Amino acid sequence: MTKVAGTKKRNGTYHFNIPIPSKIQNLYPSRTPGKFKLIFDGTMKTTDAQTAKDKVEDQRAIFRQQLRNLERKEEQERIAATLDPADAALLAELGGVHGLLRQIKEQRAVAAFTLAGVGAELADDNYIEVEGGHETPPTRVSGGEPDTPSVGRLEQELGRREAHARIDHLTAETRRLKVVAGALGEDVPPPPDGIDEGITGIRELSEGFIDAHNYTMQNREAVANTVRRWVELHGDIPIEKWTRAHLHKFDEVLRGLPSSGRRDVRSLSILDAVAKGRAEGLESISYKTRKRYSDHLKAMTKYAVARAGLLLSDPFAGYEPVGEKVKHSKAKQSDVIPYTPTQVGMILDHCAKTFDRQVMDYWMPMFAAYTGARREEIGQLTINDVRLVGNIYVMDITDLGEDQKIKNKHSLRTIPIPSPILAAGFIEYWQSRMAAGAKYLFQRSFTDNLTKKKSLVEVAPDRRGRFTEVYGKNFSRTVREKLGLTEEGMTFHSLRHSWTDAARRAKIDKETRRLIAGRLDGEDVVEAGYGGDDLLATKLEALEEIARCVRD
Does a structural domain hold residue 193? no
In Å, what is the CA distance from 392 to each residue of 182, 423, 533, 542?
Answer: 58, 14, 9, 14
Q: What is the rounded CA–CA span in Å between residue 144 and residue 132?
A: 28
Quote the Cα angle for 396-467-382, to 5°: 35
Q: Position 53: which residue type?
A: K
Q: Position 203: which residue type?
A: R
pLDDT per position as a tens digit, 485-524: 999 899 999 999 999 999 999 999 999 999 999 975 544 4
- The pTM (predicted TM-score) of the whole model is 0.53
pLDDT score for 525: 43
pLDDT score for 195: 80
At 310, which CATH number? 1.10.150
Same domain? For 345 and 451 the reply is: yes
Report which of 128, 124, 150, 145 is spatially closest to residue 137, judged by C-alpha positions.
Answer: 128
Q: What is the rounded CA–CA span in Å between residue 391 and residue 416?
A: 10
Q: Which of 61, 80, 99 is the last residue of a domain?
A: 80
In Å, what is the CA distance from 53 to each residue of 38, 39, 46, 390, 410?
Answer: 20, 17, 11, 89, 79
Coil vs helix vs strand at 175: helix
Same domain? For 317 and 346 the reply is: no
Does a structural domain hold residue 192? no
Q: What is the rounded CA–CA span in Å between residue 511 and residue 515?
A: 6
Same domain? For 512 and 398 the reply is: yes
Does a structural domain hold residue 96? no
Q: What is the rounded CA–CA span in Å between residue 512 and residue 499?
A: 13
Q: What is the rounded CA–CA span in Å between residue 357 and residue 364?
A: 11
Residue 122 near residue 156 (C-beta atoms within 8 A): yes
Same domain? For 355 and 314 the reply is: no
Same domain? For 17 and 61 the reply is: yes
Coil vs helix vs strand at 19: strand
Helix orientation angle between 270-280 and 217-234, rounded to the nearest 10 degrees: 90
Q: What is the rounded CA–CA span in Å between residue 339 and residue 366?
A: 13
pLDDT score for 79: 66
Same domain? For 258 and 367 the reply is: no
Q: What is the rounded CA–CA span in Å between residue 331 and residue 95?
A: 49
For residue 386, what are the domain limits? 341-550
pLDDT score for 198: 67
Same domain? For 305 and 346 the reply is: no
Q: What is the rounded CA–CA span in Å between residue 177 and residue 481?
A: 49
Q: Which of 324, 355, 377 is the last residue of a domain?
A: 324
Rg (CA), the chain: 34
Q: How many domains does the chain have?
A: 3
Same domain? For 296 and 353 the reply is: no
Does a structural domain hold residue 176? no
Q: What is the rounded CA–CA span in Å between residue 289 and residue 222?
A: 11
Does a structural domain hold residue 423? yes
Q: What residues in the chain have per-residue pLDDT under 70? A: 76, 79-82, 84, 119-152, 198, 324-334, 520-534
pLDDT score for 179: 77
Q: What is the rounded CA–CA span in Å between residue 188 and residue 10?
A: 48
Q: What is the rounded CA–CA span in Å between residue 467 and residue 405?
A: 10
Q: Position 132: which residue type?
A: G
At 401, which CATH number? 1.10.443.10
pLDDT score for 96: 85
